Amino acid sequence: MRQKMNNISDSYYDEDGVHEECGVFGVYDLDGGDVASTIYYGLFALQHRGQESCGIAVSDTNGPKGKVLSHKDMGLVNEVFTPEDLEKLKGNIGVGHVRYSTAGSSTRENAQPLVLNYVKGTLAMAHNGNLINAVDLREELSYTGAIFQTTIDSEVIAYHIARERLNTSSVEKAVASAMKKIVGAYSLIVLSPRKMIGARDPFGFKPLCIGKRDNTYVMSSETCALDAVGAEFVRDVLPGEIVTITADGRIESDTSMCQPVHKKCIFEYIYFARPDSHIDGIGVYMSRIMAGRLLAKSHPVDADLVVGVPESGNVAAMGYALESGIPYGMAFIKNSYVGRTFIKPKQAQRESSVKIKLNVLTEAVKDKRVIMIDDSIVRGTTSARIVKMLKDAGAKEVHVRISSPPFLYPCYFGTDIPSSDQLIASTHTVDQICEYIGADSLGYIDVNDLKHMVEERCDFCDACFTGNYPITPPDKDIRGEHE
């Protein structure tokens, strides 16, 4: 069982950053070319969004209707797919997925995309997000004869789309009908035999965008993956919108589920998205620069060097340095081949990950007063170890600055922020956290400053900081797959 935060011990170790979401990537080559390799490179660019499992499903729109070829497994994109695997995936329309399990255990069966055979044919689907009412919907489906092969929310969505398709004239209308029943966070890419459909929940929690390369359409969680495959950004899918790419190259739009209230996940800008992505028209890089500037204004300190904890803290550290005039430097060498080790779901895989992942440049920090910027503190254990590493390397002082407010509440919308009793900020004051992690001072960005990160152009969800959930959370926390 997870240890209560009011009894924190260094013997309990979990990575001190928020856990990932998932990434989705779809391609439709209207000229008939195979798309598996393009999806592969798109998923490679989205690897930061999930490292547990990945998969690709493709179909040939000119071949046998309903025939879908797929390959998925546990592991990183370059571990799961060989050139031979990609060669076998013949088809000009396809969807891929990288996963971190926010709901459903970490098993091969829960890897996506899901491929569903039903009376109307075959559907392939990739999903990013969490449903609030998944348990109720699953129980309802079970009592009407549904047999589930996975434990993930995505299968509930796929079942509802398939069932609604029996009473509608098209898959996109079935998606719209299913969206009236599902509640929570989701970005979807759905493949029918001749169409690629993208959908985003009405609050817009999760990002989804459209790109185009020659006569090929692309859908992606982030624009950085469009860049990776040479596609030009077309536009973002609107919150609540359903877009359909048809065989004649049209983008059809259904906005019947759109609403004026949006609550996009603020952690896309703080942490999740790659710095070279744009989410809903806002540059992630500049958002993090602004976060660092805001920290420098609200929590100044005399020091010799500003450093970031790679990779997520680096850009905010640059912003702090720009605002404060204190030199920006590099204090850590990151082993790029380890990946984001906190995504590993099993405790035993995390035991020595900090020192495997990071090493301190002694020459850079020795006898210096260091400002260390990171994106978040969850339990505090990793921050404590990194501060200790800096001081062991000779840093005279270590002042920690965090580019998000303190976590006080869990997230139910696809970000694996745990229950409140596991969040150090919910049981400790800032001074107590500072003492626990061994820092000389500690400062968080103010929750009221978050709007300045996104230029006050984005209505965002800050429930993990404020408890102001845009959707009533479930009575029971069922997100226990990592116990």
Q: H helices of 299-422, where? A: 314-324, 353-357, 362-365, 381-392
Task: Say if CB 94 and CB 191 are below 8 A apart.
Answer: yes
Task: Say if CB 19 and CB 343 are below 8 A apart.
Answer: yes
Task: Say if CB 38 and CB 96 are below 8 A apart.
Answer: no
The residue whose two tokens read 């393009």 is: 38
Whether residue 22 lies in the annotated active site = yes
Neighbouring C-beta atoms of residue 156, cutoff 10 Å:
26
Active-site hit among 22, 224, 411, 458: 22
Task: Say if CB 219 and CB 26 are below 8 A apart.
Answer: yes
Task: Say if CB 292 and CB 318 are below 8 A apart.
Answer: yes
* H or E segment to which residue 122 belongs: strand 121-128
Terminal C-alpha separation, the chain: 6
**What is the DSSP annotation of 287-302?**
HHHHHHHHHHHHS---
Q: Side chain identity at 297, as an amino acid letter?
A: K
Q: How far is C-alpha 417 from the geometric centre of its chain's CA atoms?
A: 12
What does the angle CA 203 – CA 155 – CA 27 come to, to the nearest 5 degrees? 70
Q: Side chain identity at 103, as an amino acid letter?
A: A
The rounded distance, in Å, linking the Cα atoms of 157 and 159 is: 5
The rounded distance, in Å, linking the Cα atoms of 198 and 174 is: 12
Assign 90 to helix, strand or coil.
Answer: coil
Task: Say if CB 81 and CB 73 are below 8 A apart.
Answer: no
- Residues serving a catalytic function are 22
